[in-house]
A and B are shown apart, each in its own frame.
Chain A
């Protein structure tokens, strides 16, 4: 599904150059559930941002779905992104002014999906994550777990090939965290490819492969026995 070769990302300020990612090689196959672990500042989030095309690499090659995407323009990246990738964030990132339904539907607004179809898919996915009964509520009226479920629904509704989750349980208590992890596991079982950044070893256990990072490099990869 995606192949990274010698992928690097450096940040420059006037005086300092920081290498966030240092010549990473990484392949992810369709249907995998990959967890990325590592201490703060090791480059996990940078890797995820590059993977999600929210950021562009400084050097190296990134082939996504058979196409080289390193060096594409921002608007081309936006096209690839909206067609293929769904995001889940630690801080949910729901739009406060929109209701649950509208937040989920938001992901389809930029896809030129007809309104009726949009409504049907939104209802479907809200059912799947068990948030349909809260469709008219606004984010501020929901618990953290419920908000993250809305975020998951929003990531799913456009039926992406890849779901990227950046510490999806970081802002949740243990119970709600487990609940979200089980949901991701189910999605993976249904065929979704998932890449997740996490600090929690127990949550990493839900993944089929764990990538450990340190100082912008991949330290080791560990495949969980099927």
Chain B
């Protein structure tokens, strides 16, 4: 019997090739999208799951709650955690401390950076990473040895078998030789760890003032004993903090760091997608984007399934006679349901196979676009086989059940006597139109959202940042380059490059992810401190950036109080400093107009150590150094070149490449040991939005897919509807209707669901997009334009789809139509 069902299913599909192709093709495309998105979600969730005993590994994360400022969630934790946590919790098997940074080495005569991680002796007790050479027991016996990955070994030595070889690392006085004590197998890409070379750290090398509870510069990992419950540890952590963190007094008040932070164990597998991303070793995943993708993929699949239902029930007309006949011959309804389910499941099965082929072909492209090391594998714990079978079952059932119930319902007596019209129940046409409305609503919603997202993505890349982005180069890692008398010589050399007009220094540059320094400032008489972001700059920074002066003057060398040199905080408290603030800071301090702030003295907690009177010498325009998602910082600029580590170079009327090459040459002369890392600020800003742009493209692809699927649906629906109305059209023509009238009739009829779909889609898209735009500090206004564009586009495409059919039918000679019945 099943063979008979399949036979007839295949013959029917073969007879209606266009219908079959549309139905199967639409489903396959949507399924492929689902599989790819699922693959990506799986990949993002697979981070660190491959680690040995990953279920027992946790990162100690910290939520810092600075008074009057937003919470900071960081992967770092206070220094003493490494030494004291294990003693407080019997569940802990081992704790290890890791601090990440960069070091330099020389390769082919050029300095290059290498990721460098300093760990304690417990690291390999916590992380059972596989060794290519050496072992956990013999790795890192002392601070003269290093462990490196196969990749770094090949880069440096050309081979991986480098146990015992010497490796010179560091620059300046820190430059020394290390012995390779182990070679790690390269880590897969789905890890939140970043390892190039590993040093063994020694507590004796850490200055005593850096060993306190205020130092969050290291990441701690914990391995719990088998069977231990992390939730119990987390519940006990606040009490433990109270016990072990000492209290002190500030301003005569009792104070404990334990009041400012909370520790928590985060499963190592949750780090990548977790909320704490400050100090992360690798870029974070975006769980919100994953949810969005999943929703969009399911919507698309939903559309394809609706297509399936629509086409199958629309075509039911062609099957009524068969159904009736089978009933006459004794088929029961459930046998007919089984037959049609078998047919629909067959279609779903073919679609799934094609979808898998599409997914396999598309995966390298998607992996590249999303920067993921994705693969499709079918068996195993997170194999795709089960989800694909589930998708298949859902599609087959959802798409097949209603048509099967619908088709099997026909009453044979009515059908077989040739009274065909009666088989079309009054409700079914309405249901099909309702499905078309839903489909187009989804498509219009997606297109509207794409238009909004696209405009916003373009907007943030072009939004006025308060400084001039073009013609600007940022040189990083200039912590030595910017210091001392040599800098003046370097600066003169840079200014001598043809086209270079200005050169300035700063501690934080545009697009910098380095942690910001915060100063607490208070106007006389104010009860509360305002927290301002502090920028250490030199006198040339603001002019180089082309930041507009609103009132007062820029900092310079004419007044002694402008510049902070080697004074201690106590000395500064006595003599006072001059600062420049931006508009936001002036507002936050309570000055209505920039001019009102000039000459005012505010108390500033200088680096948390002393209360320094700061005189506002100038007010400049706000600048957006971060992304458009973040609010513009209220900034206080201090002339403190000793704390700068970045050089900014402004050029005009010169070839960017030549300027860059000349800068590199000068750098090499003054800083031969550190790699030259300079970038155009335009590129830096563009990179800030790279992920945003990749997501926009993916979103746009899905919108396109959605439009294609809904048009396929509309096309075949229109085809069947016009077919069914052949006789009606014939009669209309005999009665005098012109082809034009017929086309207008059909197009108007099929435009209606699209127009209704707009009414459904617009509010939904408006609501979702408003929410999304609220995530940006700088954002476009939500105007009717994208909504009208999406609605108009859908209508035009729908009309074009239907018009082709309508014209063909309308031109037919009515004689054929009328003779046919």
Contacts and interface: CB of A to CB of B under 8 A. Distances in A.
Q: Do A and B bind each other?
A: yes
Interface of A: 45, 49, 52, 54-55, 74-75, 78-79, 81-83, 87, 89-91, 93, 95-98, 102, 106-107, 109-111, 154, 158, 166
B522 interface: no
B330 interface: yes
Contacts of B499: none
Interface in B1-50: 1, 4, 7-8, 11-12, 15
Contacts of A89: 416
B417 A78 contact: no
Nearest to A75: B332
Interface string B407-424: 000011100111000000
A110 B338 CA distance: 13
Contacts of B322: 95, 97
Given A93-B321, A98-B8, A78 B416 contact: no
Contact of A81 (B12, B330, B417): B330
B328 interface: yes
Given A49-B413, A110-B335, A97 B12 contact: yes
Given A52-B328, A89-B416, 4 more contacts: A45-B417, A54-B416, A102-B7, A158-B329
A54 B335 contact: no
A106 B332 contact: no
Residue from A83, A91, A102, A110 with most neighbouring chain B CB atoms (10 Å) = A110
A111 B332 CA distance: 11
Contacts of B332: 75, 78-79, 110
A93 B325 contact: yes
A25 to B, nearest CB: 22
B588 interface: no
B329 A107 contact: yes
B761 to A, nearest CB: 36
B325 A95 contact: yes
A81 B418 contact: no
Which 4 residue pairs across A and B have the least CB separation, nearest first? A82-B330, A97-B11, A54-B413, A110-B330
Contacts of B325: 93, 95, 106
Residue from B1, B12, B322, B328 with most neighbouring chain A CB atoms (10 Å) = B328
Contacts of A109: 1, 4, 329, 331
B727 interface: no
Given A49-B413, A97-B15, A110 B333 contact: no
A93 to B, nearest CB: 5
B330 A93 contact: no
25 contacts: A45-B417, A52-B328, A54-B327, A54-B411, A54-B413, A78-B332, A79-B332, A82-B329, A82-B330, A87-B328, A89-B416, A90-B418, A91-B416, A93-B325, A95-B321, A95-B322, A97-B15, A97-B322, A98-B8, A98-B11, A106-B325, A109-B329, A110-B326, A110-B332, A154-B329
Interface in B377-433: 411-413, 416-418
Nearest to B327: A78
B118 to A, nearest CB: 74
Contacts of B15: 96-97
A158 B327 CA distance: 14
Contact of B329 (A49, A91, A106): A106
Contacts of B8: 95, 97-98
A110 B325 CA distance: 12
A74 B333 contact: yes
A201 B110 CA distance: 110
A91 B8 CA distance: 21
Nearest to B330: A82
Interface in B331-390: 331-333, 335
A148 B812 CA distance: 32
A79 B330 contact: yes
Contacts of B321: 93, 95
B3 to A, nearest CB: 10
Contacts of A74: 333
A90 B419 CA distance: 13
A54 B335 CA distance: 17
Contacts of A45: 417
A158 B328 CA distance: 12
Contacts of A102: 4, 7
A136 B412 CA distance: 27
B741 to A, nearest CB: 31
Contacts of B416: 54, 89, 91, 93, 166
Contacts of A106: 325-326, 329
A87 B415 CA distance: 14
Contacts of A49: 413
B418 A78 contact: no
Contacts of B335: 110
B417 A166 contact: yes
A87 B15 CA distance: 27
Contacts of B330: 78-79, 81-83, 107, 110-111, 158
B504 to A, nearest CB: 80
Nearest to B322: A95
B332 to A, nearest CB: 5
A78 B331 contact: yes
A82 B412 CA distance: 14
A57 to B, nearest CB: 12
Contacts of A90: 418
B329 A54 contact: no
B346 to A, nearest CB: 14
A83 B8 CA distance: 24
A89 B413 CA distance: 11
A81 B326 CA distance: 12
Contacts of A154: 329
Contacts of A83: 330
Nearest to B412: A54
Interface in B288-344: 321-322, 324-333, 335
A81 B330 CA distance: 6
A96 B417 CA distance: 17
Nearest to A87: B328
Contacts of A93: 321, 324-325, 416
Nearest to B9: A97
B338 to A, nearest CB: 12
Interface in B450-478: none
B16 to A, nearest CB: 10
Contacts of B333: 74-75
Residue from B4, B326, B327, B416 with most neighbouring chain A CB atoms (10 Å) = B416
Contacts of A95: 8, 321-322, 325
Contacts of B326: 106, 110
Contacts of A166: 416-417
A55 B328 contact: no
A109 B333 CA distance: 14
A69 B417 CA distance: 23
A5 to B, nearest CB: 21
A199 to B, nearest CB: 14
A170 B333 CA distance: 30
A114 B598 CA distance: 102
Contacts of A55: 411, 413
Residue from B7, B15, B332 with most neighbouring chain A CB atoms (10 Å) = B332
Residue from B11, B326, B331, B417 with most neighbouring chain A CB atoms (10 Å) = B417
Nearest to A84: B330
A87 B417 CA distance: 12
B335 to A, nearest CB: 7
Contacts of A91: 416, 418
A141 to B, nearest CB: 14
Given A97-B12, A98-B8, A110 B329 contact: yes
A55 B417 CA distance: 13
Contacts of B4: 102, 109
Interface string B607-630: 000000000000000000000000
A95 B324 CA distance: 10
Contacts of B12: 97
A9 to B, nearest CB: 10
Nearest to A171: B418
